[in-house]
Structure 1
């Protein structure tokens, strides 16, 4: 084998590098699985990001320190919105200040304990 054949650049497959990273590979596998579940549940997009930092060792030539970070953007369910009205003082109110209150109507508080219905014989 000649020197030029031995010194040719060869890019090792990234998948091979990643499988050597045990913990990171496992974390990515679990994170992707959880992300797919949340995307299915919410119907919204999400993402998994792997950042690999490569820095040369300060004391030894040809040695590199590799660190990684896995981040996930999990899709969230929409939060419900409520309607409010601005009153004359500029504050928000659940009641429309431009609509007259109907006499005799009142908000009933729900009972502390649910009512238990009995079966008729």
Structure 2
């Protein structure tokens, strides 16, 4: 029996192994960044030769499902017309009056 890693190294001169290695590194970084799990899937399809025989055609596919980062919540305030604002439109600015007096 041959190891699957040997087959991946020989598939298209190692392209499958290289791709899987790059995707795994990207996946690990995404997991570190998001704190969420992801998956790496290597699929090898084996087709027989027409009419029988020992020849097989392999098709390899490498896919990574990267975790997605959640966007943090943000606080907004609504006005009487239903528009949203980053600061509360019903609250006066604390330093506006003092700034106006010092400029006068």
Alignment RMSD (CA, Å): 2.6
List alignment gaps of at least 5 residues for structure 2: 79-87, 91-104
Moved over 2 A (4+): 79-83
State TM-score, norm by structure 1.
Answer: 0.56
List alignment gaps of at least 5 residues for structure 1: 1-10, 84-93, 96-104, 108-121
Give per-residue Cα distances to partners, 1:30-79, cap 9 Å, x unaligned: 00011111100101101100000001021562111100111111000013
Counting only pairs closer than 5 Å after superposition, residues 39-54 of structure 1 correspond to structure 2 as 39-54=31-46
Larger radius of gyration: 1
The structure in which a higher percent of residues are helix is 2
Q: Which has the higher contact order (CA 8 A, sep 6+)?
A: 2
CA distance in 1, matches of 2:71, 2:49: 48
Kindly tell me the number of residue pairs found equivalent between the two proteins: 80
State TM-score, norm by structure 2.
Answer: 0.65
Counting only pairs closer than 5 Å after superposition, residues 43-82 of structure 1 correspond to structure 2 as 43-58=35-50, 61-80=53-72
